[in-house]
């Protein structure tokens, strides 16, 4: 998404649009962008910089870490904000900043039931191996006896 500095009026400008899903350039096999990167931003100029605030969104196809089935996850960053210093340029490309904020919003361990609209077909919680639990006193006992 490129912003032409000379086209921004003194009181700012609202821009909406989409960039192709290819801007994400993901190499991960279990994550794929399936919708364009949509943006609705207010942009303006202040103190030698360009600022942009608003909402960005897209949809990813991801693999659930529990059941290994693929599901679609909408990702919305409704409080996007950035400031870019102007160094004599007439045009500023915000694509990398938009891409970065969307990717940071992705879950590190995606679950297909994370949105509440689907029930995961993975093993039930009772069938999952659990770690033995010890009382907190016993765990900390050896450390409490340490003489430092």
Please tell me whether the overall predicted TM-score, pTM, comes out greater than 0.85 for this model. no
In contact, 37 and 18? CB cutoff 8 Å: yes
Q: How many domains does the chain have?
A: 1
pLDDT tens for 19-38 read 999 999 888 888 999 999 99
Structural domain containing residue 71: 2-144
Q: Is the pLDDT of residue 102 over 90?
A: yes
Cα four-point dihedral sign 96, 101, 102, 104: positive
pLDDT tens for 108-133 read 888 888 766 667 776 655 445 555 55
């Amino acid at each position: 998404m490129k912003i032409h500095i000379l086209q921004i009026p003194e009181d700012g400008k609202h821009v909406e649009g989409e960039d192709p899903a290819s801007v994400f350039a993901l190499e991960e096999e279990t994550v794929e962008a399936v919708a364009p990167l949509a943006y609705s931003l207010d942009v303006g100029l202040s103190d030698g910089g360009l600022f942009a605030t608003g909402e960005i969104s897209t949809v990813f196809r991801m693999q659930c870490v529990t059941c290994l089935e693929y599901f679609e996850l909408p990702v919305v960053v409704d409080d996007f904000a950035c400031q870019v210093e102007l160094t004599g340029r007439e045009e500023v490309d915000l694509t990398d900043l938009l891409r970065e904020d969307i990717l940071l919003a992705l879950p590190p361990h995606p679950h297909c039931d994370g949105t509440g609209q689907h029930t995961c077909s993975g093993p039930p919680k009772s069938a999952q191996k659990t770690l033995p639990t010890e009382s907190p006193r016993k765990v900390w006992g050896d450390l409490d006896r340490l003489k430092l």
